[in-house]
Structure 1
Amino acid sequence: MYAIVDIAGKQFKVAKDQYIYAPKMEGEAGTAVRFDKVLLIDDGGQINIGAPTVNGATVSGKILEHVKGNKVIVFKKKRRKGYVVKNGHRQQYTKVQIESIG
Structure 2
Amino acid sequence: MYAIVEIAGKQFKVSKEQWLYTPKLQGEVGTLLTLDKVLLLDDEVGTIMVGTPTLNGVTIKAKVLEHTKANKIIVFKKKRRNGYKVKRGHRQDHTRIVIEDIVK
TM-score, structure 1 normalization: 0.97
What stretches of structure 2 of length at least 5 have no aligned partner? none
CA distance in 2, matches of 1:34, 1:23: 16
Deviating 4+ runs (over 6 angstroms): none
The Cα of 1:70 is off from its aligned counterpart by 1.2
> Could you tell me how far apart the structure 1 residues matched to 2:98 and 2:23 are?
14
Residues 76-97 of structure 1 show CA distances to partners (whole Å, capped at 9, x for unaligned) of: 0011111100011110100000
Identity level (%): 63
For the residues of structure 2 that align with 1:59 and 1:79, how far apart are their CA atoms? 52
Unaligned 5+ residue runs, structure 1? none
Normalised to the residue count of structure 2, the TM-score between the two structures is 0.96
1:87 is matched with: 88
Deviations 1:37-63 (A, max 9, x none): 000000021111111001111111000
In 2, distance between residues paired with 1:46 and 1:67? 36
Name the aligned partner's letter for residue 20 of structure 1.
Answer: L
Give the number of equivalent residue pairs. Answer: 102
Instruction: Tell me the secondary structure at the aligned position of residue 34 of structure 2.
Output: strand
CA–CA distance in 1 between the matches of 2:29 and 2:82? 48
Distance 2:25 2:55 in 1: 23
1:73 shift after superposition: 0.7
Question: What corresponds to 1:100 in structure 2?
Answer: 101
Which residue matches 2:10?
Answer: 10
Cα RMSD for the two superposed structures: 0.6
Q: Provide, for residues 1-60 of structure 1, a one-character-per-residue CA deviation record: whole Å limited to 9, x for no partner.
A: 000000011000000000010100111100011111000000021111111001111111
